[in-house]
Amino acid sequence: MRKLILALLLIACTLNIAAENYPYRSDYLWVTVPNHADWLYECGENATIEVQFYKYGIPRDGQISWKLSNDMLQTDKQGTATLKNGRCNINIGSRKIPGFRDLNLAVNIDGTTYVHHIKVGFSVNKITPYTKEPSDFVSFWDAQKKSLKQTLSYTRERAEEYCTDKILCDLIKLKVDNKHSVYAYLTYPRNMKQGNHPICICPPGAGIKTIKEPLRHKYYAENGFLRLEMEIHGIDPRTPEKTFREIQSAFQTDGNNYLDNGLDNRDNYYMRHVYLALIRATDFMTSLPEWDGKNVAFQGGSQGGALAMVAAGIDNRVTQCVANHPALSDMAGYAEEGRTGGYPHFKKAKGMLTPEKIKVMAYYDVVNFARHITCPTYMTWGYNDNTCPPTTSYAVYNVLKCEKEALITPVNEHWTSDATEYGHMKWIQRHLK
């Protein structure tokens, strides 16, 4: 009887979790519905947004304050609208040139201010990047790759804490050059066979941090992949979290960020060895006797999405590329008045958008690597993203000349769902050679 009661409680809890509403356990809900179902318009078309606000599931009346801007830029129009029975309509106008408009909303209900925003696009397939390709872009990176022609050097030890009944996990320390190393967790099937397994390499999102949850994507190894979860700073991921926070405080503040470091000279920029680490990671993975000898996929999001596209553009061994909302894209865009730029949003730091630094950025901008990608590429992004704005994702996607596919999830801010991320693996599987 006790076992039966426990089983029923477990089922009840499971059903309860499955029945949670969106957004998760929130007392209030904004619903914003553009009059074009796909949130897209042509330049010159007016966009109208139906706004709904609910608290405890009940439509509420109130006065909305709204502000309008182009994607990531300053407010250029503002006003108010009245919620009646929890609803109102706001005409946000149009754009003369391709890009996004951002409607920011605020309403005070019961003494609390609630905020929301929604972006809609205009002639998005005509968005072009500000960033131009340097004439010696290819020869510069060819020279950097040649500098890596040395013996592959790494250590490999079992990470028992991340092994399961189906997969094994090893901690790798991989030497990039004479000065730099990176760490990574390698997961693989317990029953793997020589010459039988595709590779998937996952670079990290931005920040100085440990490798988060190496088993979060364990389904790659469970489905026969050799998967490498990387970091880029050469810090052992077993380092205590407190130490990571101290390092972040010292080396990840405005004006002292690794993404700012060395931008005065293309040979000294911090990301140079990071990009070369992608080559070295591929060297390591393709040296494994279990690799199938054909498939080398890169997959990542944000900075990781950027690095996945860099790898695909710099190394013709890459056979599949998956990137969601790639960072480091059209970074110098802000240098032109009225134009949106990409993460890390160099307009926020003084002295970053000088002609000299803009010239160096071009050698590291994802836009220019995307121009050289030849393998099948899958991109995902949302419109409400204020970290890696949709303008720059389109700037990248529109320059791709390879076989390409997009999953666009307009409501997403800077996140992807578990279902979308699992879909990345399924897409790679469908494109295996």
Bridge partner residues of 209 (DSSP): none
| Residue 414 appears among annotated catalytic residues | yes
Set 102, 315, 365, 385: catalytic member: 385
Burial label, 54 (beta-carbon count in 10 A; 0-12, 13-18, 19+) = middle
Q: Are 188 and 290 in contact (CB under 8 A)?
A: yes
Q: Are 101 and 47 in contact (CB under 8 A)?
A: yes
Bridge partner residues of 119 (DSSP): 102
Set 197, 217, 345, 414: catalytic member: 414
Question: How many CA atoms within 13 Å lie on the side-chain side of 254?
Answer: 7
CA distance 77 to 32: 19
Set 69, 123, 302, 393: catalytic member: 302
Amino acid at 41: Y
| Residue 110 appears among annotated catalytic residues | no
Q: What is the DSSP letter of 386?
A: S
Strand spans (E) along 206-349: 226-230, 252-253, 256-257, 291-301, 320-324
Q: In 3-state terms, what secondary structure has residue 139? A: helix
Verify cis geometry, omega within 30 degrees of 0, for the bond prior to 204. no
CA distance 405 to 403: 7
**What DSSP element (H or E) covers 69?**
strand 62-70
CA-closest candidate to residue 401, choices 424, 351, 367? 367
The residue behind tokens 């947004």 is 49
Bridge partner residues of 406 (DSSP): 379
Whats the size of the chain, residue-wise?
433
| Backbone Cα Rg of the chain | 24
CA distance 205 to 327: 9
**Residue 93 structure tokens:** 């106008």
If you count DSSP H runs as helices and E runs as strands, how many of each does the chain have, helices first? 10, 20
| Residue 345 appears among annotated catalytic residues | no
Q: Are 242 and 135 in contact (CB under 8 A)?
A: no
**Residues with catalytic annotation?**
302, 385, 414
